Structure 1
Amino acid sequence: MAKYSNPKSSNDGGLVFGFVILGIGLLLLLRKLGIFYPGWLLSWPMILIVIGTVVLIKHKFESFFGSIMLGFGLYFLLEREFGFDFGIENYIFPVALILLGLYLITQKQKEKRILDNVQEQIRNKSFKSSSGSSFSSSDVEDAQVESDKDDYGTSATGMGGVSGISYSDRVNIDAIFSGVNKRVLSKNFQGGKLTAAFGGIDLNLSQADLNGVVTMQVDVIFGGMKLIVPPHWDVRTEVTNIAAGVEDKRIYRQSEVDPDKVLVLRGTILFGGLEIKSF
C-alpha cells in the first residue's frame, strides 16, 4: 500500500496568500480603529501588484503573466496615487498588445520545434526499420516522449501547451489568454504543473496510470480547469481557494479506490474554478 507522506511542495503559494489575507485584515482593522495608514495600500493597483508578485514567487520569477501584472500594477500605482507622469498612457494598450503578440509567437515557435522534433524522431526510426528492425506504435510514443523533454531533462508539453495527445510522463501547460485540451496516455504519470490565466485547460487522464503518490501543481487565475481522472484513483485536493470554486463531480465508490494510486493537487485557485470528473 502506498504511504501518503504529504511531501513538501517547493511551489506552494498557500503561505503567501495567507500573509496577503492577514495583511488585508490588519489594514481593515487599523481603519476601523482610526489609525492612519496610506490609502493606496488598499487601492486596485495594489491588487495587480499582489497578484503579479504571488504568481512570480510561485513560478520562481519566470512567469510572463506575473511580470505583466506586476508591471501594470506599479505603473498605475505610481501614476494615480503618486502623481508620476510617464507620458506613455496613450501607448500602454498598444505596447501590451505587442508584448502579448510576441509572447504568443514565441510559444508557437516552441510548439513548432516540438512537433518538428517528433517528426524527425519518427523519420529516423522509420529509416532504421527499413534496414531490418520493426517499427511499431511504441516507437512513435518514444519519439514523442523524447521530443517533449526540455533543457532540464523533464518532460513537458511546451509553455503554451500543445493540444492533442501526449505520451509524456509529466505535463507542463501554461494556458494564458487561450485554451488547451490535452489527453495524456502515459502509464507512468509523474504529475507536473498546470497554469490557467485568463484561459482554460482540459486535461484528460482517464487513460493514464500512476503508481504511488504523485503531486501536480494547479494554478488558476481568472480562468477554468477541468481534470478527468480514472475512477479508481485517490485524488486529494490541497489547493488555496480565493473567490473561487472547486467541484469534485466524481461518483465515489470507496471499494474501488486503489490506495496505491494517489494524485495530490496543490496550488491556488483565484477568481476561477477547478472541476474534477471521472467516468
Structure 2
Amino acid sequence: MNQKPTDSRLIIGIILIALGAVLMFNTMGLVDWSVSTYIFSWKTLLILIGIVLITNKQRKVAGTILISLGVAFWIPYIFDVNIRFHQVFWPLVLIGVGVLVISRRGNIPGKPDFDKKKWKHHFGGYSTYRDDFINDISIFGGGHKKVDSKHFKGGNLTSVFGGSEINMIGSEMDAEGCVIDVFTLFGGTTLILPNTWKVQIDTVSILGGINDKRRVASSELDKSKTLVIKGMVMFGGIEIKSY
C-alpha cells in the first residue's frame, strides 16, 4: 500500500536532481541557456508532473493527459506551426478533463455502482450521502456534502479548478478503517472530520499539501481506526477541520 507513493517520490527526487544539475551546468557555462529555457518551462512542467503521475496505477490516465497537454503546447514551437496558445488551450483542457472524469467514474475498489437513491438533497444546504462510499468530482465549482454512514469505507475525491466541503461528523468509520483517494489540481477540498478520527496522510504533493487544523491531543484519537488519505495534490490543497 505504501509502495506506490514511494515510487512517485523517487521519480520526483530524480527529476529535482536532474533540474538542479542542469542549473549548475548552465551556471558553469556547460549548457547553452536556450536549452535551459526549454527545460524550465510550464509546458515541460506539465510533462514532468505527468511522468510522476503515471508511476501510480490509478493516476495513469491523468498523467497521460498532462504529458499530452505538455507535448501539444510544445508542438507549435518545435515544428514552427502557426497556432497561438489561446487557440488550443481551452479545447485541450476540456478534452483532458473529460477523459479524466470518464476514467474516474466508479473507480472505487469493491464498490460496483453508487446508489443514487441514498442521496438526499437539501437546496441551499448540504446534500446528504448515506452510502458507505463517496465519489465527488468538482470541476470549476463545488458543493457541500454530508456523509451519514455507519460503516464509512472511503471513496474518491477529485478537484480540478474547484473543490467541495465534505462533512463526515455524523459518520462512523468501518471497523477496518477507510481510504480516501484524492486528486487535486488547482483546487481545494475541505474535510470536516470527528476529532476522534486518526488521519494518516500518504499523498504526493507538488506545490500543495494537506493541512490538518484539528486541535486534538493524541490521547483523544481512536487509534484502532484510521482514515488514510492517499493520492496526488498539485497546485492546491486539502484542509481538515472539525467543529
Q: TM-score, normalised by structure 1?
A: 0.66
Q: Give the aligned partner of residue 133 of structure 2.
A: 170
Q: Give the aligned partner of residue 263 of structure 1.
A: 227
Q: Give the aligned partner of residue 4 of structure 1.
A: none
Q: Give the aligned partner of residue 67 of structure 2.
A: 70
Q: CA 1:221–1:156 in 2, change beyond 3 Å: closer, same or farther?
A: farther
Q: CA 1:266–1:97 in 2, change beyond 3 Å: closer, same or farther?
A: closer
* Selected match of 2:144 from 168, 171, 181: 181
Q: Give the aligned partner of residue 79 of structure 1.
A: 76
Q: Give the aligned partner of residue 121 of structure 1.
A: none
| Sequence identity percentage | 28
Q: CA 1:205–1:100 in 2, change beyond 3 Å: closer, same or farther?
A: same
* Larger Cα-atom Rg: 1
Supply the distance in 1 between the matched residues of 2:191 and 2:3 (Cα, whole angstroms): 20
- 1:49 equivalent to 2:13? Answer no
Deviation at 1:250, TM superposition (A): 0.8
Q: Deviations over 1:60-118 (max 9, x none)?
A: 4334xx554333311221222x23316586752563476479x39x87xx8xxxxxxxx
Amino acid at match of 1:83: F
Supply the distance in 1 between the matched residues of 2:218 and 2:172 (Cα, whole angstroms): 19
Q: Give the aligned partner of residue 26 of structure 2.
A: 31
Deviation at 1:229, TM superposition (A): 0.8
Supply the distance in 1 between the matched residues of 2:129 and 2:67 (Cα, whole angstroms): 33
Amino acid at match of 2:152: F
Q: CA 1:100–1:16 in 2, change beyond 3 Å: closer, same or farther?
A: closer
Q: Give the aligned partner of residue 16 of structure 2.
A: 21
- 1:234 equivalent to 2:232? Answer no
Greater strand fraction, Structure 1 or Structure 2: 2
Deviation at 1:257, TM superposition (A): 1.5
* Selected match of 1:8 from 2, 8, 26: 2
Give 5+ residue unaligned stretches, structure 2.
120-125
The correspondence of residues 264-279 of structure 1 with structure 2, limited to 5 A, is 264-279=228-243
* Selected match of 1:92 from 81, 88, 93: 88
* Selected match of 1:196 from 138, 159, 164: 159
Q: Deviations over 1:154-191 (max 9, x none)?
A: 15659xxx882222222233323231432212222222
Amino acid at match of 1:242: I
Q: Deviations over 1:31-86 (max 9, x none)?
A: 233322633222221012223443455434334xx554333311221222x23316
Supply the distance in 1 between the matched residues of 2:40 and 2:213 (Cα, whole angstroms): 37
Q: CA 1:168–1:28 in 2, change beyond 3 Å: closer, same or farther?
A: farther
Supply the distance in 2 between the matched residues of 1:276 and 1:191 (Cα, whole angstroms): 15
Supply the distance in 2 between the matched residues of 1:98 and 1:272 (Cα, whole angstroms): 19
Amino acid at match of 2:2: K
Deviation at 1:9, TM superposition (A): 5.6
- Say how many residue pairs are matched: 225
